[in-house]
């Protein structure tokens, strides 16, 4: 399963595109507006779409009412995400009624899953484009401008968009996402990703290193390597490709990116517990600029439920993997995904999940109650038999426990000093900087009188903490 799609960013917050292009934006004869929902991969895909549109003469805008083309990059992981998108489409349609030339399109996972419904039943959109069909956008736009309903949701076994240089939308100029693979071969029973994003394929390693090098040369100081399951990354060059014909594993790719510069931090998401290897862990430990942080979704703490989810590991196996991580990197930060109320889950099995959380002491968790998704294996095989009230109560217990653990973990950092990459001015005060340490914890600290800027590294001593933020001072 692709746990990455469970990162419903800030409860499906919208990511607005803006005009990020150098020079006079008046050179663009049309404007596009894009909102992205769901996972980091969707936000990364929107940057690929922006690049394709840029080459077609479209400039970005923050105001959808002035756009010629309005796009929603969508998520299907939960019902709430889909309903949010429908509400936005209805709002866009009202604007389109006043501006007939406007085109509205749906991209991403909902486009793949609900193509006919969008075009025929709801009549909310003019274009429907799946995750592997973004190169065809120019032709689809031309068709839609001629009055046709345009759709391309064909999945690919080869498409990685390796040759497209993404336009960094709403970037802070310090951190960037870099997609290293697409699709997923895991068939977790609750997940739609294998059906909406297709089979797993890895991107050319040289193109990844080149993109990361270019980002560093442009002033970026952190890249996050993205994939539904990054640990299964495996690229084999073709016989006609230039350079080495050596196959590249994820551990090897991590090392290649780390060697670009010691000033470039590397993160990655997401890992599947069955695939993360000792080679990856030792590579992380060997390089200071590979962040000591792993997102390792557990989903459930009970072996029977894990088997129903087709997670392919047991409770004991997961706990041993966490133990191994801590043996190799004692300071490694950990986060996870947890689902409450999966089909047939008993109260005792719910308690097993709570006990795994206690044992692993995650710094943070993405926590959801089970939401049956049409077309998944779980929908076909199992009855969604846990009452909503029970799901909600179990989720509240999971959230309460995680909040307590997070608070204790963060308070345990009081008195420690961390290297922090400055990412932005604090949202709460223009007099403070905000950044993260290697363990992915946000640290806020006064700017003081030092001449610093975004992208600089500083050492910060932690003086106090909440359950989600460390607060300190430069040393």
CATH number for the domain running over 417-474: 2.40.50.140
Query: What does residue 281 show for φ and ψ, rounded to 5 degrees?
Result: -65, -40
Query: What SS3 class is residue 387?
Result: coil
**Which of the two residues, 287 and 16, has the higher pLDDT score?**
287
For 233-262, what is the mean pLDDT? 88
Average pLDDT, the chain: 90
pLDDT number for residue 258: 98
Closest CA to 73 of 104, 100, 51: 104
**In terms of pTM, does the model score above 0.85?**
yes
Query: What does residue 444 show for φ and ψ, rounded to 5 degrees?
Result: -110, 135
Query: What SS3 class is residue 284?
Result: helix
Residues 376/77, Cβ–Cβ less than 8 Å: no
Intervals of CATH 3.40.50.12160 along the chain: 3-152
H or E stretch including 36?
strand 30-36
pLDDT at 4 over 80: no
Residues 92/74, Cβ–Cβ less than 8 Å: no
Domain 175-411 - what CATH class? alpha beta
Question: Cα–Cα distance between 136 and 47 in angstroms, integer?
Answer: 15
How would you label 256-269 residue by residue, b for 16+ Cβ within 10 Å and e otherwise? bbbebeeebbbbbb
Question: Cα–Cα distance between 335 and 318 in angstroms, integer?
Answer: 13
Rg of the chain, C-alpha, whole Å: 22
pLDDT at 159 over 70: yes
Q: How many CB atoms lie within 10 A of CB 77?
A: 27
pLDDT band for position 353 (50/70/90)?
very high
pLDDT band for position 3 (50/70/90)?
very low
Q: How many CB atoms lie within 10 A of CB 188?
A: 23
Intervals of CATH 3.80.30.20 along the chain: 175-411
The interaxial angle of helices 278-286 and 250-258, nearest 10 deg, is 10
pLDDT number for residue 19: 36
pLDDT at 261 over 90: yes
**Which of the two residues, 43 and 121, has the higher pLDDT score?**
43
Q: Which of 143-157, 339-353, 366-380 has the highest average model confidence (pLDDT)?
A: 339-353
pLDDT number for residue 154: 86
Q: How many CB atoms lie within 10 A of CB 137?
A: 23
pLDDT number for residue 22: 35
278 forms bridges with which residues in the sheet? none
Q: How many CB atoms lie within 10 A of CB 11?
A: 9
Query: What does residue 136 show for φ and ψ, rounded to 5 degrees?
Result: -85, 0
Intervals of CATH 2.40.50.140 along the chain: 417-474
pLDDT number for residue 108: 86
Residues 428/443, Cβ–Cβ less than 8 Å: no
pLDDT at 6 over 60: no
Structure tokens at 428: 């709460």
Question: Cα–Cα distance between 244 and 242 in angstroms, integer?
Answer: 7
Question: Cα–Cα distance between 422 and 178 in angstroms, integer?
Answer: 20
pLDDT number for residue 122: 59
226 forms bridges with which residues in the sheet? 179, 269
What is the tens place of the pLDDT at every residue in 184-206?
A: 999 999 998 888 888 999 999 99
Residues 62/96, Cβ–Cβ less than 8 Å: no
CATH number for the domain running over 3-152: 3.40.50.12160
Q: What contacts 121, CB < 8 A, 6 or more positions away?
A: none
**Which of the two residues, 147 and 263, has the higher pLDDT score?**
263
Residues 65/185, Cβ–Cβ less than 8 Å: no
pLDDT number for residue 239: 63
């Amino acid at each position: 399963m692709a746990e990455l799609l469970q990162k419903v960013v800030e409860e499906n917050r919208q990511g607005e595109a803006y005009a990020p292009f150098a020079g006079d934006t008046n050179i663009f004869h049309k404007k596009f507006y894009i909102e992205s929902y769901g996972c980091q991969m969707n936000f990364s895909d929107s940057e690929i779409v922006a690049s394709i549109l840029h080459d077609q003469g479209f400039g970005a805008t923050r105001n959808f009412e002035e756009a010629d083309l309005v796009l929603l990059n969508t998520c299907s992981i939960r019902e709430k995400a889909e309903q949010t998108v429908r509400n936005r489409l209805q709002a866009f349609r009202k604007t389109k009624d006043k501006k007939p030339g406007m085109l509205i399109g749906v991209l991403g996972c909902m486009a793949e899953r609900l193509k006919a419904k969008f075009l025929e039943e709801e009549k909310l959109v003019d274009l429907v484009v799946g995750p592997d069909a973004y190169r065809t956008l120019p032709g689809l736009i031309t068709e839609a401008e001629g009055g046709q309903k345009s759709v391309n949701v064909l999945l690919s076994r080869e498409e990685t968009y390796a040759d497209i240089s993404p336009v960094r939308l709403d970037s802070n100029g310090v951190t960037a996402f870099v997609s290293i693979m697409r699709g997923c071969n895991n068939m977790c029973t609750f997940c739609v990703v294998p059906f909406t994003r297709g089979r797993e394929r890895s991107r050319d390693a040289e193109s990844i290193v080149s993109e990361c090098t270019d980002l560093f040369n442009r002033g970026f100081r952190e890249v996050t390597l993205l994939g539904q399951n990054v640990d299964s990354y495996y690229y084999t060059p073709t016989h006609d490709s230039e350079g080495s014909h050596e196959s590249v594993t994820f551990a090897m790719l991590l090392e290649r990116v780390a060697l670009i510069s010691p000033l470039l931090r590397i993160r990655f998401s997401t890992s599947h517990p069955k695939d993360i290897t000792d080679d990856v862990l030792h590579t992380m430990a060997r390089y200071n600029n590979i962040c000591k942080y792993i997102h390792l979704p557990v989903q459930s703490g009970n072996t029977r439920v894990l088997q129903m989810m087709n997670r392919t590991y047991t409770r004991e196996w997961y706990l041993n993997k966490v133990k191994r991580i801590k043996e190799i990197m004692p300071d490694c930060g950990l986060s996870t995904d947890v689902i409450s109320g999966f089909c047939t889950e008993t109260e005792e099995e719910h308690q097993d999940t709570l006990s795994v959380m206690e044992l692993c002491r995650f710094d943070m968790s993405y926590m959801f109650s089970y939401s049956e998704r049409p077309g998944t294996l779980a929908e076909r095989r199992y009855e969604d038999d846990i009452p909503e009230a029970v799901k909600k109560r179990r989720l509240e217990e999971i959230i309460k426990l995680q909040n307590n653990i997070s608070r204790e973990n963060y308070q345990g950092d009081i008195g420690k000093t961390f290297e922090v990459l400055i990412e932005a001015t604090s949202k709460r005060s223009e007099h403070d900087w905000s950044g993260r340490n290697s363990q992915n914890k946000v640290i806020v600290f006064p700017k003081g009188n030092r001449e610093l800027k975004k992208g600089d590294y500083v050492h910060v001593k932690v003086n106090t903490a909440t359950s989600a933020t460390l607060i300190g001072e430069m040393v």
